[in-house]
């Protein structure tokens, strides 16, 4: 079952789910599922979801949410419809070209689901828009945006207001989906820390995209939203789903909480350094000492990156090997105890835990990179 913190607060006035026609058969098939029933349908009708970004992800997500009988959709996008959007942005037709996306989307969605209420945000998602007052009315945000600055902003504002976010992104032939609980657990910034993330993932315009992939991933977002609202099954809370369109592999990875996360972290840098000094058994090495050691051809050093694979893929210390913290226990036997190891993560907190595990397993030559990749990249020659 879902975490209790995820229960959508019944803070809105109750509305009947079939306002105009109690005899409507519209939701018959959905209501027939015992896990949904009339009660579930009622709950969907009382729920407000803000869809940020009405492009390749937001189009299918908004359509399926409207189709499921969500009461109100906030539609947020600053752009106008372009011809090159049409292959994947299935909300729009040829005659919508040049129209503001929010208006074309409203037209299509309300024609499809006449009982749907909409609220339009044509200025996009900014620090001030929608205002906190308005944002607080929404039960859930779907992050269907196509750029990282917007994702960081959604993450930060949603976390401050305690609103959960269903996030998704696509890159070339891979899609990813995650759920960030507004009240706790890891956030988007824990997954992709803003400071170290200099190599931005390019958007569709730069990288290219095949329309069916955002279609699939946007549907995943709508499904996660419905599951959260109805408290069905297991949500992707705190986990990242990776979908590879070329071989149809699906992987789910646990997102570690970053104690030093600037958005949700509980530990200050000073506290972290304190703990680091207190930690027994494993030694530490500074970024500049490590650089000197590598330059001095201490080639017996094995650099282990204990972050998640997607962090490693974005950027890493050259020559390092990926060994995510959550796989360490299973793979510890494959490591040679006589070798010398330096472990690192983003800021040094996860790798400190990993070091302690190695030391207690009998490894003697283990060091933690103080300050992690952040410290390493800070002294990297330009
Ligand atoms: Zn965080």
The Cα–Cα gap between 324 and 350 comes to 9
Query: Any idea which of 17-31, 172-186, 192-206, 293-307 has the lowest mean pLDDT?
Result: 192-206
Q: Are 275 and 242 within one domain?
A: no
Average pLDDT (139-160) is 96
Specify the pLDDT at position 231: 96
Specify the pLDDT at position 203: 55
Q: What's the alpha-carbon Rg for the chain, to the nearest Å?
A: 23
| Average pLDDT for the chain | 86
Specify the pLDDT at position 284: 87
Q: What is the pLDDT of residues 293-349, one digit of tens each?
A: 887 766 688 999 999 888 888 888 988 999 988 888 888 988 998 888 999 998 887
The Cα–Cα gap between 185 and 208 comes to 33
Asked whether residue 196 is assigned to any structural domain, the reply reads yes
Contact 142, 61 (CB under 8 A): yes
Q: Are 216 and 94 within one domain?
A: yes
What spacing in Å lies between the alpha carbon of 156 and ligand 1's midpoint?
9
Indicate if the pLDDT at residue 245 is higher than 70: yes
* Closest listed residue to residue 39, CA positions, set 50, 49, 27: 27
Asked whether residue 315 is assigned to any structural domain, the reply reads yes
What spacing in Å lies between the alpha carbon of 193 and ligand 1's midpoint?
8
Q: What is the pLDDT of residues 201-240, one digit of tens each?
A: 555 556 788 999 999 999 999 999 999 999 999 999 999 9
Specify the pLDDT at position 283: 85
What spacing in Å lies between the alpha carbon of 259 and ligand 1's midpoint?
8
The distance between the two most distant Cα atoms of the chain, rounded to a whole number of Å, is 79
Specify the pLDDT at position 12: 45
Specify the pLDDT at position 268: 60
What residue numbers bound the domain in which 54 lies? Answer: 4-254
Average pLDDT (260-275) is 70
What spacing in Å lies between the alpha carbon of 308 and ligand 1's midpoint?
14
Q: Identify the CATH number of the domain in which residue 359 sits.
A: 3.40.250.10
Q: Are 132 and 192 within one domain?
A: yes
What spacing in Å lies between the alpha carbon of 229 and ligand 1's midpoint?
23
Asked whether residue 264 is assigned to any structural domain, the reply reads no
| Rounded alpha-carbon distances, angstroms, from residue 181 to 6, 126, 368 | 7, 21, 31
3-state secondary structure of 52: strand
Asked whether residue 262 is assigned to any structural domain, the reply reads no
Give the residue from 254, 283, 309 where a domain finishes: 254
């Amino acid at each position: 079952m879902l975490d209790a913190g995820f229960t959508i607060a019944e803070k809105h006035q109750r509305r009947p789910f079939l306002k105009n026609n109690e005899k409507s058969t519209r939701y018959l098939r959905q209501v027939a599922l015992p896990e949904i029933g009339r009660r579930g349908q009622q709950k969907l009708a009382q729920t407000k979801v803000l869809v940020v970004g009405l492009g390749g992800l937001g189009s299918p997500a908004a359509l399926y949410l409207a189709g499921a009988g969500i009461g109100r959709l906030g539609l947020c996008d600053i752009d106008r419809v372009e011809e090159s959007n049409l292959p994947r942005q299935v909300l729009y037709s040829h005659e919508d070209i040049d129209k503001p996306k929010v208006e074309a989307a409203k037209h299509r969605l309300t024609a499809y689901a006449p009982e749907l209420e909409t609220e339009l945000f044509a200025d996009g998602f900014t620090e001030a828009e929608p205002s906190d007052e308005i944002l607080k009315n929404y039960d859930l945000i779907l992050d269907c945006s196509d750029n990282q600055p917007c994702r960081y902003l959604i993450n930060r504002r949603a976390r401050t207001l305690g609103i959960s976010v269903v996030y998704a992104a696509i890159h070339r032939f891979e899609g990813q989906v995650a759920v960030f609980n507004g009240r706790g657990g890891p956030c988007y910034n824990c997954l992709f820390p803003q400071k170290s993330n200099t190599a931005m993932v390019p958007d569709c315009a730069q990288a290219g995209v095949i329309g069916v992939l955002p279609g699939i991933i946007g549907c995943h977002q709508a499904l996660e939203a419905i599951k959260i609202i109805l408290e069905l099954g297991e949500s992707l809370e705190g986990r990242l789903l990776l979908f590879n369109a070329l071989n149809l592999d699906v992987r789910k990875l646990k997102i570690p909480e970053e104690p030093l996360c600037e958005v949700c972290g509980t530990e200050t840098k000073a506290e972290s350094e304190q703990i680091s000094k207190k930690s027994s058994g494993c030694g530490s090495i500074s970024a500049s000492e490590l650089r000197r050691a590598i330059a001095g051809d201490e080639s017996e050093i094995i650099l282990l990156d204990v972050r998640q694979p997607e962090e490693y893929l974005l950027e890493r210390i050259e020559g390092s090997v990926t060994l995510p913290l959550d796989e360490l226990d299973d793979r510890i036997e494959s490591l040679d105890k006589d070798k010398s190891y330096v472990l690192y993560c983003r800021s040094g907190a996860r790798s400190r835990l990993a070091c302690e595990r190695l030391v207690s397993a009998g490894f003697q030559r283990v060091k933690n990179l103080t300050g992690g990749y952040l410290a390493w990249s800070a002294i990297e020659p330009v």
